[in-house]
Structure formats: C-alpha cells, structure tokens
C-alpha cells in the first residue's frame, strides 16, 4: 500500500528557524529550505537576500496527511511567527523574510483562511494579522549548506536563534 504524500509551504522569516519545528513530527517525511513567490528562476541565496527578487525564504514540507493532517501542520506553523509583522520576522527584515502560507490545493487555502480567522478571533494580538495566504508557485531548494542547518551547524543555529528574538516572542505571545 502506497501512501499519498502532500506538500505544505510556509514562509516565516529565516528558514533556518522554520525547519526544526516541523522536522520532528511523525508523518513529516522531509522539510526543505528554499525560495518561493518571486519571478526569478533558480535564485541563489545571495540574490534572494537582497530583497529584490520577490522571493520569500520558505520551507516546503512533504507530509503524510493520514499521519499528520494539514490542520495540524498549520497549528505548528502559527506559533513560529509574528503574524502582525509585514516587514519581516524578528531580527530578519525585508520582503524576503515576510511570513506567508502558500497553499497547494483549494482545501489548503480554506484551512489556512480558517486558521487565520481563528487567530484573529482569539484577540491574542493587538495589531492586525497580516500573514498572507497565497497560491503556491515554483519552489527552489536553497543551497545545501542551508538544508537541516539546525543539525549541521548546531552552535551557529542556536546563537542565531538566541539573537533573533524569536523565542522570546513565542514565549510571550504563544505559550499558554
């Protein structure tokens, strides 16, 4: 019996910090760091980090929905970001670091919109929720040294994450 895998694509600032939260769940087959949403084919990190390509730093998650449904993937996504920041995420500023959900199906779009509305209705944030929900487009894997960065460069990953302010924000706004 073959399993039917699906894709989920999320932007949430620096992709180094977006892999680990998904990578550790049963049913998640792969998490790839990369670039999406822009018009440049096969962009490099050097090109994307200029903020001029239209691309977001993002992660593409391959998952088995019979083990971990898309709704659960969404519930893992939101607490990784500041959904009120339209200019980047934490210490990473610029359009390449904006948060967004890229849907692959109409069902994903509807689920993402519903989850966003739940965040709005929760009144957890005083500022408006600005995370965009966009159709998925070409996804270009980032260079090898960016893949599984939290595993390959553990010390640098921890230092960057500590400096970012991400964990403080998560603890303040998402922990219950």
What is the fold, at CATH topology level, of the domain defined by 6-173? 3.30.1060
- Res 15 pLDDT > 90: yes
Whether this prediction's pTM lies above 0.85 is answered by yes
pLDDT of residue 176: 63
- Res 39 pLDDT > 60: yes
Would you give the end-to-end CA distance of the chain in angstroms?
Answer: 40
Q: Of the candidates 68, 79, 62, which has an alpha carbon nearest to the alpha carbon of residue 9?
A: 62
pLDDT of residue 175: 74
pLDDT of residue 1: 44
148-168 pLDDT, tens digit per residue, is 999 999 999 999 999 999 999
56-71 pLDDT, tens digit per residue, is 999 999 999 999 999 9
pLDDT of residue 18: 96
Q: Of the candidates 81, 30, 76, 23, which has an alpha carbon nearest to the alpha carbon of residue 57?
A: 81
The CA–CA distances, whole Å, from 108 to 34, 94, 134, 149 equal 20, 26, 10, 27
Active-site annotation, residues: 14
- H/E stretch holding 38: none
- H/E stretch holding 35: strand 28-36
- As a whole number, mean pLDDT of residues 129-133 equals 98
Q: Is 34 helix (H, G, I), strand (E, B) or coil?
A: strand
pLDDT of residue 141: 98
Region of residue 61 (left: phi > 0; alpha: psi -120 to 50; beta: else): beta
Pairing status of strand 139-141 against strand 132-135: unpaired
- Res 2 pLDDT > 60: no
Give residue 47's Cα distance to chain centre: 19
Site of tokens 């487009």: 137
- Res 112 pLDDT > 80: yes
73-83 pLDDT, tens digit per residue, is 999 999 999 99
């Amino acid at each position: 019996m073959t399993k039917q895998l699906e894709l989920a694509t999320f932007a949430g600032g620096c992709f180094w910090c977006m892999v680990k939260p998904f990578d550790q769940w049963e049913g998640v087959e792969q998490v790839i760091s990369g670039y999406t949403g822009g018009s440049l084919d096969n962009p490099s990190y050097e090109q994307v980090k200029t903020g001029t390509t239209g691309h977001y730093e993002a992660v593409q998650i391959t998952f088995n929905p019979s083990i971990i449904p898309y709704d659960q993937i969404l519930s893992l996504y939101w607490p990784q970001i500041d959904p009120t920041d339209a200019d980047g995420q934490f210490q990473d500023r610029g359009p390449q670091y904006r948060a967004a959900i890229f849907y692959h199906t109409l069902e994903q779009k509807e689920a993402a919109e519903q989850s966003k509305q739940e965040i709005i209705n929760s009144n957890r944030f005083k500022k408006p929720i600005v995370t965009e929900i966009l159709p998925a487009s070409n996804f270009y894997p980032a260079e090898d040294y960016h893949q599984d960065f939290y595993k390959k460069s553990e010390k640098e990953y921890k230092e960057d994450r500590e400096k970012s302010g991400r964990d403080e924000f998560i603890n303040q706004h998402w922990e219950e």
